[in-house]
């Protein structure tokens, strides 16, 4: 199939449909709404289930019910809606059901902005819902990558009976890029053994998240954890650019990662040996890749569109072996490559390890910029 121009939000909707999506439930919220609108015409046209729910609470619980019947199901929303869905996500994780969530992230906290952000990193990667559960979280940096990741996410969710999250910065939902759509898969006819279907006696199935016996609940928690260990082993994804001889490494995901790519190219043109590690799977986090980068370079600069959420994960992995610095824009502001280039130049001019927490030092540098 040839490449076509696709808007991010519509592209992921079509990719999900081609992956055999059977039921979509959602609620309007900027900057995600084009996906809901796209689904509202495409799904009924294909004889599949589309329903605009009364709220994000309604939407995620409709997905919960649909997932219980064993169909491929998903919802999409943006940050404030994701917060509302956290309850349902925890229940779905506990019931060990596969589902896909696309979170088109906007600036927060609160109602915040409708501009691009990565402020949902903690609530997705480290779990905004209660209890020990582990969603798979991927952060694409462009429309084609979004298509490919959403298309594959249903398989991952089913393989691990887990929640698959695709976290899109608002910018990627709103941008248009060429993308090649994958082939249309047939909608699955069989249903998984565990799914409810209407049965009694020895065919009776119960899908629940409650078990008041702590010993049983502990076993279930361990089962989730062990399954997660398999995910950590098998599903790490990242991209590297100009890392071969790099002495400085940028680590940034999604939009922040691709903006950093522009800065890295500009710095390379000026002779600075800098490279980029762009984590695609945020959960599981590319621990080994970050360790290898830390062993190779003298300085790491983490770039995010939040106040350093992934930074904490990088610090945890690097464990002080390499100097780690941070640069971020917050509340829905996207950095320009020039800002990151200036950081690279600053570090190249003075690569000695920093004295203090990278976030504190960043606040000192960014405050005059923000208040300008």
Angle between helices 33-45 and 8-18 (to 10 degrees): 30
Nearest distance from residue 197's CB to other proteins, in Å? 7
Residue (152 or 252) nearer to other proteins, CB: 252
Contact 101, 128 (CB under 8 A): no
Count CB atoms within 10 A of the CB of residue 234. 11
Residue (120 or 313) nearer to other proteins, CB: 120
Structure-token pair, residue 68: 């219980």
Burial of 159 (0-12, 13-18, 19+ CB in 10 A): middle
Residue (21 or 138) nearer to other proteins, CB: 21
- What SS3 state is found at 310? helix
Pairing of the two strands 281-283 and 299-304? unpaired
Nearest distance from residue 68's CB to other proteins, in Å? 5
Nearest distance from residue 160's CB to other proteins, in Å? 20
Nearest distance from residue 300's CB to other proteins, in Å? 19
**Residue 176 backbone phi and psi in degrees, to 5:** -115, 130
Residue (196 or 354) nearer to other proteins, CB: 196
Distance CA 191, CA 98 (A): 12
Nearest alpha-carbon partner for 165 in 241, 268, 92: 92
Write the DSSP symbol of residue 202.
Answer: G
**DSSP string of 108-129, one letter each residue:** -STT--SSB--TTHHHHHTTSS
Nearest distance from residue 287's CB to other proteins, in Å? 25
Q: What are the residues binding other proteins (CB under 8 A)?
A: 3, 5, 22-23, 25, 31, 49, 51, 53-55, 57-59, 61-69, 71, 73, 87-88, 91, 95, 113-115, 142, 171, 174-178, 196-201, 204-210, 255, 258-265, 332, 334, 336-338
Nearest distance from residue 9's CB to other proteins, in Å? 12
Nearest distance from residue 57's CB to other proteins, in Å? 6
Distance CA 310, CA 316 (A): 10
Nearest distance from residue 346's CB to other proteins, in Å? 18
Residue (257 or 284) nearer to other proteins, CB: 257
Residue (115 or 253) nearer to other proteins, CB: 115
Distance CA 228, CA 222 (A): 10
- What SS3 state is found at 18? helix
Residue (48 or 300) nearer to other proteins, CB: 48
Q: Is the alpha carbon torsion for 188, 192, 195, 200 positive or negative?
A: positive
Nearest distance from residue 326's CB to other proteins, in Å? 19
Nearest alpha-carbon partner for 228 in 87, 96, 46: 96
Residue (144 or 322) nearer to other proteins, CB: 144
Residue with the two structure tokens 């619980």? 61
Residue (69 or 221) nearer to other proteins, CB: 69
Residue 113 CB contacts under 8 Å (≥ 6 apart), including other chains = 106, 107, 331, 332
In angstroms, the first-to-last Cα distance of the chain is: 49
Residue (97 or 231) nearer to other proteins, CB: 97
Nearest distance from residue 333's CB to other proteins, in Å? 10
Nearest alpha-carbon partner for 329 in 121, 122, 117, 125: 117
């Amino acid at each position: 199939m040839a490449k076509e121009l696709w808007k991010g939000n519509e592209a992921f909707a079509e990719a999900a449909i081609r992956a055999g999506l059977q039921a979509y439930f959602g609620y309007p919220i900027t900057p995600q709404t084009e996906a809901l609108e796209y689904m509202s015409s495409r799904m009924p046209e294909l004889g599949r289930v589309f329903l605009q729910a009364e709220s994000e609470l309604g939407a995620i619980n409709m997905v919960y019910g649909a997932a219980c019947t064993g169909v491929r199901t998903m919802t999409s929303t943006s940050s404030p809606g994701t917060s509302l869905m956290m309850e349902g996500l925890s229940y779905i994780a506990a019931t060990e059901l596969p589902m896909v969530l696309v979170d088109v992230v906007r600036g927060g906290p609160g109602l915040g902005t409708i501009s691009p952000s990565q402020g949902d990193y903690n609530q997705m990667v480290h779990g905004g819902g209660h209890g020990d559960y582990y969603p798979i979280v991927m952060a694409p940096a462009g429309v084609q990558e979004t298509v490919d990741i959403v298309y594959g996410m249903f398989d991952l969710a089913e393989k691990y009976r887990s929640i698959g999250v695709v976290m899109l910065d608002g910018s990627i939902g709103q941008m248009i890029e060429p993308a090649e759509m994958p082939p249309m898969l047939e909608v699955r006819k069989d249903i998984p053994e565990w799914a409810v279907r209407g049965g009694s006696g020895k065919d009776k199935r119960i899908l629940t998240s409650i078990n008041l016996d702590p010993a049983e609940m502990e076993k279930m928690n361990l089962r989730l954890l062990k399954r997660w260990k398999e995910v950590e082993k098998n599903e790490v994804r990242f991209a590297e650019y100009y890392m071969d001889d790099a002495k400085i490494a940028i680590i940034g995901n999604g939009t922040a990662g691709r903006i950093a790519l522009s800065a890295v190219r500009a710095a390379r043109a000026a002779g600075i040996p800098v490279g980029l590690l762009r984590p695609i799977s945020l959960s599981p986090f590319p621990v080994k890749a970050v360790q290898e980068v830390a062993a190779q370079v003298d300085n790491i600069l983490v770039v995010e569109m939040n106040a350093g959420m992934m930074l904490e994960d990088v610090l945890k992995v690097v464990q002080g072996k390499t100097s780690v610095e941070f640069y971020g824009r917050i509340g829905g502001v996207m950095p320009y490559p020039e800002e990151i280039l200036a950081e690279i130049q600053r570090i190249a001019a003075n690569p000695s390890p920093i004295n203090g927490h990278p976030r504190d030092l960043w606040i000192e540098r960014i405050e005059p910029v923000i208040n300008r």
